[in-house]
Amino acid sequence: MPGDRGARWTVRELLTWTSERFAELGIEDPRVDAEHLLAKALSCSRVDLYLQHDRLLDEAERAPFRELVRRRLAREPVAYIEGQRGFHALDLELRVDPRVLVPRPETEHLVDWLLENLRPAPAPLMDVLDVGTGSGAIALAIAKARYELRVTAVDRSADALALAADNAARLELGERVRFLQSDLLDAVEDPPGGWTAIAANLPYIPSADIEGLAPEVRDWEPRMALDGGADGLDLIRRLVAQVQERKALAPGGWIYLELGIGQAGAVEDVLRGAGFEAVGSRVDYGRIPRIVGGRAR
């Protein structure tokens, strides 16, 4: 931002100048990012910014914004700068930092499909497993939506689990979700009769594609949560094989898998080959097949 520290800029001018700098760098949604950062610096909402477009900001008000802009110009994700990200229509505000992936809107489709397929309340307690929980987004969303669920969330990263447990405590869901460190199902004990549903947002980026990702992803988000092996499906195949071998799902139980662009057909074949029925996919907001699901026999 301009170096004249004695100048006074309006909210509108700061947003315009910052948006232009972000756009020059190739940042997506530059205006939205600028608004998020200025709202954080001023401890107000984005709506408040629109109500005070012509308000002059002095140096004391601009200094914190300048630091946030510097971080964004270094391509740090806005969610990490803000320290939080909203998830799902349930209005979950999740703390996020470089220990975990930033929750994406695409994952909301997995939550929706899982909730649609659960037996309606009142129903007996049902056991649901979230594999690769990260920030806890999936586990906490379904626990908040359905009181009759016993949710277990696992991740191989102890750092991710610590953040997920913190999110659970803040959202007063700590007694509803059990967190466990495990590489896929290795340390998981299946409940009697099997899981009603298993959800997994596992790494699915092919290893060779990592370097071509946007800097916000490549340089800031945890590599172990991105790299899915040669074709991106290594962990998905391992999980499906474990579920099949252990009969981890109850008869009629469902598995839901988030995946990348162009992977739906291959993952559907994996599920059919493992004996699942009713195999299909759901598209995301961009009409891209993003979630594949199947029902255990």
Nearest-angstrom CA–CA distance, 54 and 40: 18
**pLDDT value of position 119:** 81
Q: Residue 1: its pLDDT value, please? A: 55
Phi, psi (5° rounding) for residue 42?
A: -95, 0
274 burial (CB, 10 Å; 0-12 / 13-18 / 19+) is: middle
Q: Whole-model pTM above 0.85? A: yes
Residue-wise DSSP of 72-117: HHTT--HHHHHTEEEETTTTEEEE--TTSPPP-THHHHHHHHHHHH
Confidence (pLDDT) at 6: 55
Strands 177-181 and 149-155: parallel
Q: Which two tokens stand for residue 205?
A: 């980026």
Residue among 55, 60, 99, 61 at smallest CA distance from 77 = 99
* Token pair of 124 as six digits: 């007996």
Q: What is the pLDDT of residue 89?
A: 83
Residue 3 buriedness (CB in 10 A; 0-12 / 13-18 / 19+): exposed
Neighbours of 103 (CB within 10 A): 23
The tens place of each residue's pLDDT in the chain, 297 residues long, gives: 544 555 679 999 999 999 999 999 999 999 999 999 999 999 999 999 999 999 999 999 999 999 999 999 999 999 999 999 999 988 899 999 999 999 999 999 999 999 999 987 677 889 999 999 999 999 999 999 999 999 999 999 999 999 999 999 999 999 999 999 999 999 999 999 999 999 999 999 999 999 999 999 999 999 999 999 999 999 999 999 999 999 999 999 999 999 999 999 999 999 999 999 999 999 999 999 999 999 999
What is residue 124's predicted lDDT score, i.e. its pLDDT?
Answer: 80
Domains and CATH numbers, the chain: 9-74 (1.10.8), 99-295 (3.40.50.150)
